[in-house]
C-alpha cells in the first residue's frame, strides 16, 4: 500500500522546517542569550574559542599561523588539526568577523547539529534509486540522529560534531556511487569532497569513523551485494578526500609523532562498560552530563537515540527480514551490532581482537563508535516506519505484535527496576524516574505501533505522532544536559585592569597563569606569551616533559623560559614572595607578581655540554649544579668551555612564523632561544643555513663563530608545503571540471532552445 500522494517540494520544505523548529526549541535559551553551552564552557570556551580567535586575528594580519608562539612556550599550530583553520564555515567566520564573540561559536554548534539533521533527512530520502523513502520516515530518522547521544555528550566539542555532522551525506553519495548505473566516479568524487570538508573540521577520530563506515559498506557491497567496484570507488573517495584536505591533513599526520599522543598504548581508554548500555534505554538511570553523571566509570556516550527509535528499529529489522527482503535493512542491522560491540572496547571480545590483528590501530576512545551505531539505528527506524505502512497483516501477526510489545517492555523495564533496588539508596528516586519514563515511552510507542497494525490510525498520523513522541523524548531529556546559566567566558578577563597592565609592558617575556580566575589560554587571544595553556592532547612531548619537571616557580629551568610575570589569585600567592613579588593588585580578581629571577628569552652562552641523546640531556639539566644562565646542554653539538664575555642581542623581528636577531660575540658561542625545539624549524646565520640544536632538552640553539651576525629562524614544514600544493591543484582541478561540465550543459540547453524555436517555422513552411 503506497503512502498518500506526495508533493516533494512542499513535503521536504515542511520537514526541514520541522527539524529547524526542533533545534530552535532545544537551544532556545542559548538562541535568546538566556544561557550558554556547554555546561562549564568545556572545550568550546577554554580551548576552541581562544584558538579560533588567534587563527582569525592571524589571518587578518596577513599571516597563516603555522606556529603559535603564545602558548606552551611555542607550539606548531598548523599541525594541530583541532584548529579547523581551513574548514569552510570556520574560514568564512575568520575572514568576515575576526573579532567574533563566543555567541558565534555557539551558533556554529547549533548550526552543525541542524546540518546533521538535514543531512540525515536527505540521506534517507534519496538512499534508494528505485523507491525513495517518504518524508516522514526520513524526518524521524533525522530527528533521532541529530539529537543522538554523541552530539549531546560532546556538544561543546565543535570540531568533533562538525566532522560527525557530515556523515549522512558522505555515506549517501558513496552509496549512490556503488549503486549508480552511470557517473559512478562522479558520485565517489562527490563523497570524497564532502569527506575532505569534514576532515578540515579538525577531528581525526571522527574522520576515521566516517572512513570506517565507508570501508564497511564497500566490504558489505562487495561480499553481499556482489558489487566488486565498491572497493575501487572507495579508493577514489579516499584519494579525493586526502588530496582536498592535504594542507591540513599532511602536517597533522607528520606532527603527531612529536606529541604526547604519539603512542597508541592506551587504545582501550574510555570504553563503554556493559552496565553503561543501560544508557541506551534510560539515559538518566546513572545520570547524564558532566554534573548529573554518577557512575563509577569515566563518563562516555552511551548511544541514546530515543525509545521510539529502538522500537521502530526492532520493527523494521524483524519485519523486513520476515518478509524475506533482508537486503534492505541488513547492512544497518549489522552496523548497529558491530559498532555497538566495538564501543564496549575491552568489555567485549571484538575490540581486543581488533587490537591484536592491528596493534597500531589509531583509535583511543572506543565509546565513540556509538556514532556509527546510532546512525544505523536511525536508518533502521526509518525502515521500521516504512514497513508499518507498506505491509498487510493478518490476525495472527497482529496478536504477535501485541505479544512482542508486552515482552520487550517487560524485558527492558523489570531488570532495571530490580537493579535500582541494589544500588545507592540516595540515587533511587532518580533511577525510579528513569525506569518509569522508559516504561511510559515504550508503552506510548507500542500503542501507536499497534494502533497502526490494527488500522485504527492512519500511516501519516502514526508517523507524525511517533516523530513528535521521539522529539519530545530527545529534546526533553537532552536540552538541559549541557546548557548552563553561567557565562563561561568571564575568565578571559575582557577590560581587566591586570590584563591592561600586562599589555602595557612590551617585550618577549612570558607569563604564567596560576589562578582559576583567568582562562589558561587567555594569552593566545591577547598576544601575550605564556608557558602554559589549556590541556591539549597534542602538546609537544619534549616540552610536556620539560614543563612538568621544572620544579617550583623561580627554579632555574622555570626562569630559563623567561617568565617575568605570574598571575595569581587574590588570596593565594603563586610562590615564594621573597623573589616573586606583587607589582599590580588593582584588579578585583587577580594579582600580578614579578619574578625577579626571570632570564631573558634569548641568551648567548660560551659554555656548552654536548650529549648524544634526549635522556642524557634531561638528566644533566636536572642536576643541582646545572646553571642554565651559564651553560647550555646541546644534543649532537660541540662542547665549549670559556669565560663568559658580554654579547649584545638586538631583536630585529619576532612574528608568528619567523624571527631575526643581531648578535655580537668575541668568541665561539651558542645563541639560545628559549622557544621550543621542533624539527621543522630552520635557521640561517648571515644568510647561510645552519643547524638548529636541541638545547636544554626542549629549546633551540645555533652555533656562532666570533663576530657580528644576523640570525634568522623560520618555520616552513615540508608537510605543509606539499599539502598546500596538492590541495591547491586538487581544488583547482575540481573547479575547472565543474566549470566545464556547467559550460557543456549550458551549450546543450541553448541548442535545445534554438531547436525548439526553429520547429514551428519548419512546420509552417
**What is the pLDDT averaged over residues 726-749?**
85
pLDDT of residue 653: 95
Assigned domain for 326 exists? yes
For residues 40 and 153, state if they share a domain.
Answer: yes
Inform me whether the pLDDT recorded for 263 exceeds 60: no
Residue 3 forms part of a structural domain: no
Query: Which H helix or E strand runs over 475?
Result: helix 459-478
User: pLDDT at position 387, please?
Assistant: 83
pLDDT tens-place string over residues 416-439: 888 887 888 888 898 999 999 999
Higher confidence at residue 737 or residue 328?
A: 737
pLDDT in tens, 436-480: 999 999 999 988 888 877 677 888 899 999 999 999 999 999 998
Statement to judge: residues 474 and 507 lie in one domain = no
Of 315 and 18, the one with more pLDDT: 18
Residue 547 included in any domain: yes
- pLDDT tens sequence across 292-303: 899 988 899 999
If you compute the radius of gyration of the chain from its CA atoms, what whole number of angstroms results?
30
Residue 615: inside a domain, yes or no? yes
Contacts of 277 (CB under 8 A, 6+ apart): 302, 344
**CA angle 659–662–666, rounded 5-degree value:** 140
What does pLDDT average to over the chain? 90
**pLDDT confidence tier of residue 260, bands split at 50, 70 and 90:** confident
pLDDT band at 264 (very low <50, low <70, confident <90, very high): very low
d(CA 125, CA 6) in angstroms, rounded, equals 12
Q: Which residue has the higher pLDDT, 759 or 16?
A: 16
Task: Tell me, yes or no, whether 75 lies in a domain.
Answer: yes
> Residues 37, 30: contact at Cβ < 8 Å?
yes
Give the span between the Cα atoms of 401 and 393, in whole angstroms: 10
Share of the chain above pLDDT 90, in %: 72
Q: Are residues 390 and 500 in the same domain?
A: no
Range of the domain at 615: 602-716
CA distances from 547 to 165, 414, 628 (A): 37, 53, 15
591 and 606 assigned to the same domain:
no
How remote is the C-alpha of 85 from its chain's centroid?
13
d(CA 249, CA 719): 9
DSSP state at residue 677: P
Domain count, the chain: 3
Whether residues 544 and 606 fall in one domain: no
Helix (H) or strand (E) holding 450: helix 428-453
The 10s digit of each residue's pLDDT in 524-541 is 999 999 999 998 888 899
Task: Give the pLDDT confidence of 594-642 residue by residue, as tens digits.
Answer: 999 999 999 999 999 999 999 999 999 999 999 999 999 999 999 999 9
Give domain status of residue 236, yes or no. no
Q: Which residues contact 688 (CB under 8 A, 6 or more apart)?
A: none
Summarize the confidence of residues 93-107 as an average pLDDT.
95
Q: Is the pLDDT of residue 350 over 50?
A: yes
| pLDDT number for residue 764 | 36
Residue 225 lies in a domain: no
Q: Average pLDDT of 544-567? A: 95
* Predicted pLDDT of residue 2: 46
Residue 8 burial (CB count, 10 A): 11
Summarize pLDDT for 180-219 with one digit per residue, the tens: 887 889 999 999 999 999 999 999 999 999 999 999 999 9
Residue 522 shares a structural domain with residue 388: no
Does residue 121 register a pLDDT over 70? yes
pLDDT higher than threshold 60 for residue 654: yes
Of 595, 627, 642, the residue at which a domain comes to its end is 595
Q: 205: which strand partners?
A: none
Q: Are 385 and 136 in contact (CB under 8 A)?
A: yes
Judge whether 649 and 662 are in contact, CB under 8 Å. yes
Regarding whether 419 and 379 lie in a shared domain, the answer is: yes
28-78: pLDDT as tens digits:
999 999 999 999 999 999 999 999 999 999 999 999 999 999 999 999 999
What is the C-alpha to C-alpha distance for residues 536 and 548, in angstroms, rounded to an integer?
A: 14
- CA neighbor of 11 nearest in space, from 125, 143, 131: 125
Longest Cα pair distance anywhere in the chain, in angstroms? 108
- β 590-595/699-704 pair status: unpaired
User: Do residues 629 and 599 lie in contact, with contact meaning Cβ atoms separated by under 8 Å?
Assistant: yes
Same domain for 584 and 612?
no
Same structural domain, 591 and 612: no
Residue 757 has pLDDT above 70, yes or no: no
Claim to verify: residue 606 and residue 589 sit in the same structural domain: no
Q: Which is more confidently placed, 402 or 270?
A: 270
Query: Does 682 or 393 have the greater pLDDT score?
Result: 682
Q: Is the pLDDT of residue 742 over 90?
A: no
Helix (H, G, I), strand (E, B) or coil at 540: strand
Q: Are 372 and 521 within one domain?
A: no
Residue 628 placed within a domain: yes
Q: Full-prediction pTM beyond 0.95?
A: no
- Looking at residue 388, its pLDDT comes to 81
CATH number at residue 698: 2.60.40
Report DSSP letters for 215-230, one per residue: HHHHHHHHHTS--THH
pLDDT of the residue at 726: 96
Question: 695, 716, 737 — which closes off a domain?
Answer: 716
528 and 437, same structural domain? no
Q: pLDDT grade, residue 158 (50/70/90)?
A: very high
Amino acid at each position: 500500500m503506497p503512502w498518500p500522494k506526495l508533493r516533494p517540494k512542499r513535503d521536504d520544505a515542511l520537514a526541514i522546517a520541522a527539524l529547524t523548529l526542533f533545534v530552535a526549541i532545544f537551544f532556545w535559551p542559548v538562541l535568546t542569550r538566556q544561557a550558554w553551552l556547554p555546561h562549564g564552557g568545556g572545550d568550546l570556551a577554554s580551548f576552541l574559542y581562544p584558538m579560533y580567535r588567534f587563527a582569525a586575528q592571524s589571518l587578518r594580519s596577513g599571516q597563516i599561523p603555522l606556529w603559535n608562539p603564545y602558548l606552551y612556550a611555542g607550539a606548531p599550530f598548523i599541525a594541530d588539526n583541532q584548529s579547523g583553520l581551513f574548514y569552510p564555515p570556520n574560514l568564512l567566520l575568520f575572514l568576515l568577523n575576526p573579532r567574533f564573540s563566543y555567541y558565534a561559536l555557539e551558533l556554529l554548534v547549533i548550526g552543525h547539529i541542524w546540518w546533521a539533521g538535514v543531512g540525515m533527512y536527505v540521506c534517507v530520502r534519496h538512499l534508494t534509486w528505485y523507491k525513495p523513502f517518504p518524508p516522514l520516515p526520513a524526518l524521524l530518522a533525522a530527528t533521532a540522529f541529530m539529537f543522538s547521544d554523541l552530539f549531546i555528550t560532546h556538544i561543546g566539542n565543535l570540531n568533533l560534531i562538525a566532522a560527525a555532522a557530515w556523515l549522512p551525506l558522505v555515506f549517501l553519495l558513496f552509496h549512490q556511487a556503488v549503486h549508480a548505473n552511470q557517473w559512478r566516479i562522479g558520485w565517489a568524487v562527490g563523497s570524497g569532497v564532502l569527506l575532505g570538508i569534514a576532515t578540515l573540521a579538525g577531528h581525526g577520530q571522527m574522520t576515521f569513523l566516517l572512513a570506517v563506515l565507508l570501508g564497511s559498506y564497500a566490504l558489505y557491497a562487495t561480499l553481499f551485494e556482489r558489487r566488486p567496484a565498491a572497493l575501487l570507488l572507495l579508493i577514489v573517495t579516499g584519494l579525493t578526500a586526502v588530496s582536498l584536505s592535504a594542507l591540513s591533513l599532511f602536517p597533522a599526520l607528520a606532527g603527531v609523532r612529536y606529541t604526547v599522543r604519539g603512542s597508541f598504548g592506551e587504545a582501550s581508554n574510555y570504553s563503554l562498560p556493559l552496565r553503561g548500555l543501560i544508557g541506551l534505554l534510560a539515559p538518566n538511570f546513572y545520570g547524564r552530563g558532566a554534573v548529573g553523571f554518577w557512575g563509577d566509570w569515566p563518563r562516555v556516550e552511551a548511544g541514546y537515540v530515543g525509545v521510539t527509535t529502538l522500537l521502530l528499529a526492532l520493527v523494521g529489522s524483524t519485519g523486513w527480514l520476515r518478509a524475506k527482503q533482508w537486503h534492505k535493512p541488513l547492512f544497518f542491522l549489522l552496523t548497529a551490532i558491530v559498532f555497538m560491540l566495538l564501543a564496549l572496547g575491552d568489555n567485549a571480545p571484538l575490540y581486543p581482537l581488533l587490537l591484536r590483528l592491528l596493534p597500531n590501530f589509531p583509535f583511543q576512545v572506543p565509546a565513540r563508535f556509538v556514532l556509527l551505531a546510532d546512525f544505523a539505528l536511525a536508518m533502521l527506524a526509518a525502515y521500521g516506519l516504512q514497513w508499518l505502512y507498506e505491509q498487510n497483516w493478518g490476525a495472527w501477526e497482529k496478536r504477535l505484535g501485541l505479544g512482542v510489545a508486552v515482552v520487550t517492555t517487560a524485558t527492558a523495564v523489570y531488570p532495571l527496576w530490580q537493579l535500582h533496588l541494589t544500588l545507592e539508596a540516595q540515587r533511587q528516586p532518580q533511577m525510579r524516574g528513569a525506569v518509569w519514563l522508559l516504561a511510559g515511552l515504550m508503552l506510548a510507542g507500542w500503542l501507536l505501533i499497534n494502533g497502526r497494525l490494527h488500522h485504527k490510525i492512519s500511516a501519516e498520523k502514526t508517523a507524525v505522532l511517533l516523530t513528535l513522541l521521539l522529539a519530545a523524548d530527545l529534546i526533553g531529556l537532552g536540552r538541559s544536559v549541557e546548557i548552563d546559566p553561567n557565562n563561561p567566558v568571564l575568565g578571559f578577563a575582557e577590560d581587566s585592569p591586570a590584563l591592561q597592565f600586562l599589555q602595557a609592558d612590551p617585550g618577549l617575556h612570558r607569563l604564567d597563569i596560576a589562578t582559576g580566575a583567568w582562562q589558561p589560554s587567555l594569552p593566545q587571544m591577547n598576544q601575550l606569551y605564556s608557558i602554559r595553556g589549556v590541556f591539549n592532547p597534542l602538546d609537544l612531548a619534549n616540552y610536556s616533559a620539560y614543563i612538568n619537571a621544572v620544579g617550583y616557580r623561580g627554579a632555574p629551568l622555570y626562569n630559563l623560559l623567561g617568565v617575568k610575570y605570574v598571575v595569581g589569585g587574590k588570596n593565594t600567592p603563586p610562590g615564594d614572595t621573597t623573589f616573586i613579588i606583587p607589582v599590580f593588585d588593582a584588579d578585583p580578581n587577580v594579582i600580578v607578581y614579578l619574578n625577579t629571577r626571570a632570564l631573558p628569552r634569548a641568551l648567548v652562552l660560551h659554555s656548552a655540554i654536548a650529549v648524544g641523546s634526549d635522556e642524557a640531556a634531561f638528566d644533566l639539566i636536572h642536576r643541582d649544579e646545572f646553571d642554565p644562565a651559564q651553560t647550555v646542554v646541546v644534543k649532537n653539538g660541540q662542547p665549549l668551555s670559556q669565560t663568559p664575555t658580554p654579547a649584545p642581542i638586538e631583536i630585529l623581528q619576532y612574528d608568528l612564523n619567523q624571527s631575526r636577531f643581531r648578535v655580537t660575540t668575541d668568541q665561539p658561542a651558542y645563541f639560545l632561544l628559549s622557544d621550543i625545539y621542533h624539527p621543522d624549524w630552520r635557521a640561517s646565520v648571515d644568510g647561510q643555513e645552519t643547524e638548529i640544536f636541541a638545547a636544554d632538552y626542549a629549546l633551540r640553539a645555533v652555533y656562532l663563530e666570533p663576530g657580528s651576525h644576523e640570525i634568522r629562524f623560520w618555520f616552513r614544514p615540508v608537510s605543509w608545503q606539499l599539502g598546500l600544493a596538492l590541495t591547491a591543484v586538487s581544488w583547482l582541478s575540481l573547479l575547472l571540471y565543474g566549470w566545464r561540465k556547467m559550460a557543456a550543459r549550458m551549450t546543450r540547453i541553448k541548442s535545445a532552445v534554438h531547436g525548439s524555436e526553429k520547429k514551428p517555422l519548419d512546420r509552417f513552411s
